[in-house]
C-alpha cells in the first residue's frame, strides 16, 4: 500500500461487495481485507448473500412476461376506459340536465322557499347584533350616552332618517349608547339600554323595503325580538325577556319613533 | 417522442423481479407492475428524458407499493396464500437452506433497506439512481446500504443458529 492512498472506507467495502471498484482500488480493498480477517469474513458473507439473492430472483427475471403486462394490452385498456368514462360523463351530464329541467318546472308547482320577508330579515339581523354586543363588556357601545346628542345626530345622518332614543325609563331601562353596523344594503343603528340588574335591551334600525307594519315576534334562544316595518325602515327591539315583558316596550318604542317622524297616529296592529 | 412500447417492454422483467421481492406474491407483484406501467403511460410526457427510465419506473413502483402497504395497515393484516418462494436452482442442501433464508430475511428488513439492497444488489442501479428512487441524499446511500447488509447478515446468522439448535 502506498502512502498517498485514501484509507479504506465503508463506501469502498460496499462498492467491493457490488463489484464496482476499478483495478487499483479493488486491489487496495483486497489487501486491506487480507490483513483484517474478521472484516474479510463479513464482506465475504455480504457478497455471498448478494449472489444468493440474485440467484433466487433470477427465475422471476427470466420468466415469460404475462400478456396482461404488454404495453399494447395496457394501451387498449386505457382507450377502453377513456371511452367508457366519456360515456359515463355524458350520462351524468344528461341526468344533471334532466334533473335541472325537472327541478325548474317542479319549482313553479310547489310553494317556493322565498327569501324571508323584510320584517323577518330585520328581526334576524337585530338578533345577531344583539347576540354580538350584549355580551360585550369592554365596548358594549361605540358612542356612550354621555354624547347622546352626537350619537343620535351621527346615526341619523348615516341612516338617512331622524333617529331619537325612545325613553324606556318607565320600564327600568336606561340608554347606554349606540353603534353603527352594516345592515342590508346600507347602515344599521343599534341603541343599547340596560336596567339596574345589568340586563340589556337593544333597538335596531335600518332601511328596509315593504309597507308591512304588523309587529312580528320572534324568539331565538333567550333573545326575544319584536320587529316591524314603518316608512321604509325596519325596527326591532330585542332583549332576553318574555313576550309579555317585551311587548309594552316595543309599543313604546314604536310610539317614540312614530313621534320622531311625526307621521299619522296609525299604530301597528298587535298580533 | 420515443415510443413507450419499445422503451418500456424490455424493462418489465426487472420490474417484475423487484415487485416480487417486495410483495412476495406472484399475482400481487404483477398487479403492482401493471399499476406501475399504467401510471408510466399516463405520465409518459411528463417523465424526465435526461434521467434513467429504469430509476423513474422503480420510483413509481416503490411509491405505489408504499401507499398500498399503508392502506393495508389501516385495514388490518392480510394473509396471502400465494406467498411462495421460487424453487432454488442447483443448490447444495446447505446453500439451499441459506438461499431460502435470504428472501425471508430480506422481508424482515425495513422497506427502505430492503429496496436499497434490491435496487443496488440485484437491479444494478447506480448508487445515485438508488438514492433518487428512495428520495434520500446520495451521500447517505453507502451507509444505509452497509447497515442493511449487516442487518441481513445478522438475521441470517441468528436464524440459522436457531434452526440448527432446533435440529439438534
- CATH number of the domain encompassing residue B45: 1.10.1740
Greatest CA separation found in chain A? 118
Residue for grid cell 446468522: B157
**CATH class for domain A118-261?**
alpha beta
Residue in the structure block whose three cell numbers are 405520465: B43
Average pLDDT rounded to a whole number, residues A3-27: 87
Q: What is the ipTM of this complex?
A: 0.81
| Facing B38 at nearest CB: one of A42, A70, A74 | A74
Q: What are the grid coordinates assigned to B71, written together?
A: 392502506
Chain A residues touching residue B130 (CB < 8 angstroms): none
* B74, B95: one domain: no
From the CA of A44, how many Å to the nearest CA of chain B? 11
At residue B98, does pLDDT exceed 70? no
User: How far, rounded to the nearest angstrom, does the alpha carbon of residue A49 sit from its chain's CA centroid?
Assistant: 58
List strand residue ranges (DSSP E) for chain B, in order.
none
Q: Do B9 and A60 touch (CB under 8 A)?
A: no
Q: Is any Cβ of chain A less than 8 angstroms from the Cβ of B86?
A: yes
Q: Domain limits at B17? A: 1-83
Considering the domain architecture, whether residues B4 and B69 belong to the same structural domain is answered as: yes
Residues B61 and B96 in one domain: no
Average pLDDT along chain A: 84
| Contacts A68 to B, Cβ<8 Å | 30, 34
In chain A, % helix, strand, coil (3-state, to 5) comes to 55, 20, 30
Q: CB contact, 8 Å: B45 with chain A?
A: no
A60-64: average pLDDT: 91
Secondary structure element (H or E) that encloses residue B143, with its range: helix B141-167
Same domain membership, residue B59 and residue B96: no
Give the closest of A53, A69, A71 to B106, CB-based.
A53
Asked if residue A190 has pLDDT above 90, the reply is yes
pLDDT cut 70: percent of chain A above it? 88
In sequence order, which residues have a C-beta less than 8 Å from that of residue A205 and are 6 or more positions away?
A155, A159, A161, A163, A188, A189, A190, A191, A233, A234, A235, A236, A257
Q: What is the pLDDT of residue B3?
A: 80
DSSP state for residue A238 in the 8-state scheme: E
User: What whole-number distance in Å separates Cα of residue B141 and Cα of residue B155?
Assistant: 21
- Report d(CA A179, CA B80) in Å as an integer: 71
Q: What digits encode the pLDDT tens for the residues A82-140?
A: 777 777 777 787 887 877 777 777 766 655 556 678 888 899 899 999 988 888 778 88
Question: Do B75 and B142 belong together in one domain?
Answer: no
Q: Any idea which of A77-81, A192-196, B87-91 has the lowest mean pLDDT? A: B87-91
In this structure, the answer to whether residues B95 and B166 fall within a common structural domain is yes
| Residue pLDDT, tens place only, A20-35 | 998 899 999 999 999 9
What percentage of chain B has pLDDT greater than the value 90? 49
Q: How many domains does chain B have?
A: 2
Bigger pLDDT: A212 vs B63: B63
Say whether both B107 and B143 belong to one domain. yes
Give me the mean pLDDT over the A55-61 stretch.
90
Choose the final residue of a domain: B83, B102, B126.
B83
Which CATH number does the domain housing residue B161 bear? 1.10.10.10
Residues B77 and B147 in one domain: no
Q: Which residues of B touch A17 (CB under 8 A)?
A: 121, 149
CA A232 to chain centre: 33
**B41·A13 Cβ contact <8 A:** no
H helix or E strand, kind and range, residue A27: helix A23-35
Q: How many CB atoms lie within 10 A of CB A258?
A: 18
Task: For residues A172-179, give the mean pLDDT.
Answer: 92
Contact by Cβ (8 Å): B118, B18? yes
B121 and A54 Cβ atoms separated by less than 8 Å: yes
Which residues make Cβ contacts (< 8 Å) with residue B120, sequence separation at least 6? A18, B127, B130, B141, B145
Q: How far is CA B73 from CA B61, B114, B115, in A?
A: 18, 18, 19
Which region among A146-150, A213-217, B159-163 has the lowest average model confidence (pLDDT)?
Answer: B159-163
pLDDT of amino acid B1: 47
pLDDT tens per residue across span B118-135: 999 999 999 999 999 999
The three cell numbers of residue A222 are 333567550
B146 Cβ contact list (under 8 Å, min separation 6): A10, A13, A14
pLDDT, position B96? 47
B85 interfaces chain A, CB cutoff of 8 Å: yes
Of B29, B63, B83, the one marking the end of a domain is: B83
CB A140 within 8 A of CB A130: no
Contacts of B118 in chain A (CB under 8 A): 53
- Cα torsion B16, B20, B23, B29 to 10°: value is 40
* pLDDT > 70? residue A223: yes
Which pairs from B139-144 meet CB under 8 Å and 24+ separation?
Answer: B141/B116, B142/A10, B142/A11, B142/A14, B142/A15, B143/A10, B144/B112, B144/B113, B144/B116
Q: How far is A87 from chain B (nearest CA, A)?
A: 20
CB A131 within 8 A of CB A140: no
Q: Point out the domain boundary residue: B21, B56, B83.
A: B83
Amino acid at each position: 500500500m502506498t502512502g498517498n492512498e485514501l484509507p479504506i472506507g465503508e463506501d469502498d467495502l460496499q462498492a467491493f461487495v457490488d463489484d464496482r471498484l476499478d483495478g487499483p482500488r479493488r486491489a487496495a480493498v483486497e489487501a486491506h481485507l487480507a490483513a483484517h480477517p474478521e472484516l474479510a469474513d463479513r464482506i465475504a458473507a455480504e457478497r455471498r448473500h448478494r449472489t444468493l439473492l440474485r440467484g433466487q430472483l433470477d427465475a422471476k427475471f427470466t420468466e415469460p412476461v404475462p400478456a396482461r403486462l404488454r404495453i399494447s394490452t395496457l394501451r387498449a385498456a386505457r382507450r377502453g376506459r377513456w371511452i367508457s368514462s366519456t360515456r359515463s360523463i355524458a350520462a351524468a351530464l344528461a341526468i344533471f340536465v334532466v334533473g335541472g329541467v325537472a327541478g325548474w318546472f317542479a319549482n313553479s308547482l310547489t310553494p317556493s322557499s322565498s327569501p324571508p320577508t323584510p320584517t323577518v330579515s330585520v328581526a334576524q339581523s337585530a338578533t345577531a347584533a344583539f347576540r354580538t354586543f350584549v355580551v360585550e363588556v369592554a365596548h358594549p357601545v361605540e358612542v356612550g350616552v354621555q354624547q347622546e346628542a352626537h350619537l343620535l345626530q351621527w346615526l341619523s345622518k348615516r341612516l338617512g332618517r331622524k333617529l331619537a332614543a325612545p325613553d324606556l325609563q318607565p320600564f327600568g331601562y336606561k340608554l347606554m349608547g349606540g353603534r353603527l353596523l352594516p345592515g342590508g344594503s346600507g347602515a344599521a343603528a343599534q341603541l343599547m339600554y340596560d336596567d339596574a340588574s345589568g340586563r340589556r335591551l337593544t333597538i335596531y334600525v335600518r332601511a328596509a323595503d315593504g309597507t308591512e307594519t304588523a309587529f312580528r315576534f320572534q324568539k331565538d334562544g333567550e333573545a326575544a325580538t319584536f320587529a316591524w316595518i314603518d316608512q321604509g325602515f325596519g325596527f326591532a327591539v330585542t332583549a332576553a325577556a318574555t313576550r309579555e315583558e317585551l311587548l309594552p316596550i316595543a309599543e313604546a318604542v314604536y310610539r317614540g319613533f312614530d313621534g320622531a317622524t311625526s307621521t299619522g297616529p296609525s299604530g301597528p296592529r298587535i298580533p | 417522442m420515443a415510443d413507450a412500447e419499445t422503451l418500456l417492454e424490455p424493462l418489465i422483467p426487472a420490474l417484475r423481479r423487484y415487485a416480487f421481492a417486495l410483495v412476495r406474491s406472484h399475482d400481487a407483484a404483477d398487479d403492482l407492475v401493471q399499476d406501475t406501467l399504467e401510471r408510466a403511460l399516463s405520465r409518459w410526457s411528463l417523465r424526465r428524458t435526461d434521467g434513467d427510465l429504469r430509476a423513474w419506473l422503480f420510483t413509481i413502483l416503490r411509491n405505489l407499493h408504499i401507499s398500498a402497504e399503508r392502506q393495508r395497515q389501516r385495514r388490518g393484516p392480510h394473509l396471502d396464500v400465494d406467498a411462495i418462494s421460487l424453487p432454488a436452482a442447483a443448490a447444495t442442501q446447505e446453500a439451499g437452506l441459506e438461499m431460502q433464508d435470504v428472501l425471508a430475511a430480506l422481508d424482515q428488513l425495513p422497506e427502505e433497506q430492503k429496496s436499497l439492497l434490491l435496487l443496488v444488489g440485484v437491479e444494478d442501479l447506480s448508487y445515485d439512481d438508488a438514492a433518487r428512487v428512495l428520495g434520500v441524499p446520495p451521500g447517505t446511500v453507502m451507509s444505509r446500504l452497509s447497515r442493511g447488509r449487516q442487518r441481513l447478515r445478522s438475521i441470517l446468522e441468528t436464524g440459522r443458529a436457531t434452526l440448527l439448535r432446533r435440529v439438534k
